[in-house]
């Protein structure tokens, strides 16, 4: 039994070392290697524009790889909206983000979960169990308050949250923010493409600016609802038995 326990610990350490190595290499490639010169809006835009009918598929694959390699999501999202417009851009961005988020979660789960489990004490175990029971709600809430996208993908893989709870919570949680941002950038792109600056006064531009500004208040709104729920729970009188 002791030998099996030691073998599991050794395996967990090796997997965690591989996860840290993967993350280190990913950050190096994106931040410090010559590859970073090609990860710009202009370079990626030229590449996708030359891809013809394959551009949507290539963009989704780039987005998936970008999510796993710590490429800033705002860059890829803005690029998708600028090239494909507000509606198709939203579809391709959301698809790439979902596949990338699921893949990053599985990488974190396979390489890091065993090691994380060895570090969990009694207090953290209760927290871990609570995430497993309320996985969908937890993921949904964190997505809606714009918790950093890539760290959360890998980090959630270290917890006991179920994969499908994570996927469904992410799918719904990033829907609003992704649509608002792509609609905003894509609408401005359409106005710029026409060359008619009076288009900046159109209802679509006004709506996109309004939605984009309102999106920053979503976390505050959710926090207010959460605090109000706590206060109402505390104010409820205990039942008499």
- Where exactly are the structural domains of the chain? 2-235
Q: Residue 55: pLDDT above 80?
A: yes
Question: Would you state the pLDDT for residue 105?
Answer: 94
CB 105, CB 156: distance < 8 Å? yes
> Does residue 190 have a pLDDT over 60?
yes
Which two tokens mark 36? 């970073």
Looking at residue 127, its pLDDT comes to 77
Q: What is d(CA 191, CA 202) in angstroms, rounded to the nearest whole number?
A: 9
pLDDT tens for 150-183 read 889 998 988 889 999 999 999 998 988 888 888 8
Give the single-character DSSP code of 33.
S
More confident: 212 or 139:
139
| Distance between CA atoms of residues 74 and 76, nearest Å | 6
pLDDT at 64: 95
What does the angle CA 26 – CA 30 – CA 34 come to, to the nearest 5 degrees? 120
Q: What is the pLDDT of residue 67?
A: 92
CA angle, 214 as apex, 212 and 215 as ends, to 5°? 65
Torsion sign across C-alpha atoms 46, 50, 56, 61: negative
What is the average pLDDT score of the chain?
A: 80
Question: In the numeric block, which tokens belong to residue 233?
Answer: 């729970």
- DSSP output for 3-22: HHHHHHHHHHHHHHHHHHHH
Predicted model pTM: 0.79
DSSP 157-224: HTS---HHHHHHHHHHHTHHHHHHHHHHHHHHHHHHHHT-GGGGGSHHHHHHHHHHHHHTTHHHHHHH
- pLDDT value at residue 37: 78
């Amino acid at each position: 039994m002791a030998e099996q326990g030691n073998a599991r610990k050794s395996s967990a350490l090796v997997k965690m070392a591989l996860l840290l190595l993967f993350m280190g290499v990913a950050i190096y490639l994106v931040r410090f290697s010559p590859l970073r010169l090609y990860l710009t809006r202009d370079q990626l835009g030229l590449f996708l524009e030359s891809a013809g009918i394959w551009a949507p598929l290539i963009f989704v694959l780039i987005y998936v790889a970008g999510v796993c390699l710590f490429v800033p999501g705002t860059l890829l999202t803005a690029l998708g909206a600028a090239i494909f417009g507000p509606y198709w851009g939203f579809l391709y961005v959301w698809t790439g983000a979902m596949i990338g988020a699921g893949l990053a979660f599985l990488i974190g789960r396979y390489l890091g979960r065993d090691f994380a489990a060895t570090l969990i004490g009694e207090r953290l175990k209760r927290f871990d169990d609570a995430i497993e029971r309320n996985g969908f709600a937890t993921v949904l809430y964190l997505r809606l308050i714009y918790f950093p996208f890539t760290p959360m993908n890998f980090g959630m893989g270290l917890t006991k949250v179920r994969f499908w709870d994570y996927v469904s919570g992410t799918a719904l949680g990033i829907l609003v923010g992704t649509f608002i941002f792509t609609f905003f950038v894509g609408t401005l792109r359409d106005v710029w493409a026409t060359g008619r600056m009076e288009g900046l006064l159109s209802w679509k531009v006004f709506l996109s600016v309004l939605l984009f500004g309102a999106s920053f208040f979503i976390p505050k709104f959710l926090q207010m609802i959460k605090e109000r729920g706590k206060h109402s729970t505390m104010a409820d009188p205990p039942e008499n038995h």
